[in-house]
Structure 1
Amino acid sequence: MMLKNELQLKLKANLNLLLRNQVEILLHPVQELEQLLKEEKESNPFIEEVCVCGRGYELFEERKSPEPIVKAHPLETLQRNVRAELEGIDIEIANELISQTDERGFFKGDISKIARKYGVDESYVEDIREFIMKLEPLGICSKNLLEFVKLQVEELYPDEPELLSAFEEALAGKPLPKEAKLKLSHVRLSPIEEDVSVPRVGKVDAVIELDDGELVGYVYEELIEIKPNRYYMEVLPKVKGEAREFLKEYMERYENFKKILSIRKENLKGILNEIITVQEAFLKGEGNLKSLLVKDVAQKLDISESTVSRLISSKYVKTPQGTYPFKFFFVRETVGGVSQEELMREIKEVISKEDRRKPLSDDDIARILKGKGYDVARRTVAKYREVLGIPSSRERRER
């Protein structure tokens, strides 16, 4: 009886903490994970100690601001992606749509007026608007908050459409269920946030180092050790009835928590290793980023795309080239299977070596790139040349 009363006094207020959804543990960046580990230790009698140990602990401390290559305004980034993905009148319509967004990135224009202006059906304009929404940065040109949240829910929680219904009810003034509230706390409320700079971080979630010319990666979870409470481990088989069920529930939560952390560690390490493999040249300071897609990493690790998206969300990695969000290393591929950045670098290099008296046409550049193994069309070369702000061959010719 004394054991049961002691446990009830210690634990009755904390059971909900231990019932947090597994997905949420995947989402936490390292600083929030540290707090969660502390709360778990205080709440679960089967956890004696949570030890963050190892000689590499100081590697994960970040005292400087992250160092992105370029931090353009979200609309600049979007317009660059639009020029890369669309052509002709579609680009004009896309730019018209973007120009009619407010300071938060929501579309405030009139689809019918845009359709009349360009002599196309409203459905044609609407298709372009929906296409723009799915480009990076995600969600710009959403018509309202609900549409923007729907887009994020589909990406973060593809198997939980009921979250959107809960959000709609909340907009109508009804209280959000606790679990839905926790999950929806991870969605943004506007496509363009006031602070578009990369936030400061105190600790990073992963580290990539150069060791004798080789890239080596570590994730923070490799330093975590959860030590069990031997007393309760020994007591559990000896007690019966209600006290046994009470202890058994916390024992299962302890084991489940360890299992979730193990899954998080293995998958984050797998993602980090894929980043090292694909982005080796960039990480060594010898080249630019290459094409890396969430779906490719998901297939390689045999996990869902949504799991990869959750794992890389709001997490940072310290590299020899600076500290970046995990998402920074995931670069959209072109039709030819290379990143936009890589292809633009190649085009710029080819043009820089041309004879100014006989500048290369877009067809010439496409042929040279094909000789280098890049399967690109003249039209693609023209798109990226324009993105780079490089004039046509006629305008580049020296008189």
Structure 2
Amino acid sequence: MEFTLDLKQDLKLILTQEMKLSLNVLEMSVNDLEKFILKEKELNPLIEVDFSNKFNKKSSNDDEDFSPLELAHKEESLIDYLEEQLGYLSLSKNLKFLCSYIINNLDKRGYLPLSKKEIKNFTGFSLKDTEEALKIVKNFEPIGICASNLEECLIIQLHKKNINDMILENLIKYFLIELSEGKNKEICRKLKISEEKLKEYLDEIRKLNPIPARGFYMGDNINFIIPEAEIKKVGEKYIVSILEENLPKIKIKSIKNEENRNFYNSAINLINFIEKRRETLKNILELILEKQYDFFSKKDGKLKKFTSKEAAEILNLHQSTISRAIKNKYILSDKGILRIKDLFVLNGLKEEICELIEEVILNEDREKPYTDQYISEYLENKGISIARRTVAKYREELGIKPTSKRRIKGI
């Protein structure tokens, strides 16, 4: 009885490990999966990787010695550079882990897309430790790394240069859009500065680097988006075509003795997981195409309400599986390269409301910014009934600060 019970527990553990690897493969982008395959090749002597289709089609490099490993190395160089700086510091095990977690979650620009609360929830560490880790990484080179957005990135660089000018910071925080639109006179009026002073500020801003990761893995030949599939017209209808050539092909060497059996099984599992990833993604995309057919087939087609929850129910998958399958993945279409996630629409009315909220706030007087209650009443006058709490929720989702944080002080 005890032997049977132990045996079942062992089998359950093995299945859990396989399922975890399968889910990890499902979640990987093309670039991440390619790097994962390369690492598996180093560990497994039976795996051979064929890049001929991928690089014959995509690479413009004429050097016969060109290797795909060069791309993987360059893409990882920023993380290596930051991890190296981290290694010089004498930190507690918890802080070192948190710093490494933050570094490995930076996006392609070098920004951190996670909030303090999300990092705290994902890692289980305290908010105090999380804030300390963020402070540490933000002091690393290149300056501006780990910022949450463009405004913070530029202000970090100002502080590193010992420039503490509140008017300049407010110009960056609240008027970058107006600056890009050339509304200089309006900016001068609101900030109560001369056009000559504004020109000085502009010269200072132009010296700052909006993409701190540039020079590491942001090169034109490295940091390109690789679409997973294409939605294209064939004859009279649109179809989904998985772009098989965007991934290297895996081949398995023959087994010479039983000692290689584990390596062989591991290689077979990897191929099966990649095939399952392809099938899951294709099923999701075919369903998206069915639900959003007008968007792809008509020049002025609009996306309709269709959620990942609905897709999960139709395909008999868990909603988290849908989220993993579409994470950081793109498709090619007549309308350009599209992020798959954006093809799901939670609520068409919500999108319209968010656009109105953003438009109202962008046109407000920064000395007297609108309250959520005012925006609620403004929308009510336009025939859209929405509570103040809902306005606040949508505003936060848009990344717009509350009234008190948008108000310009000391000007």
Fold shared per TM-score above 0.5: no
Q: State the TM-score, normalizing by the size of structure 1.
A: 0.43
TM-score, structure 2 normalization: 0.42
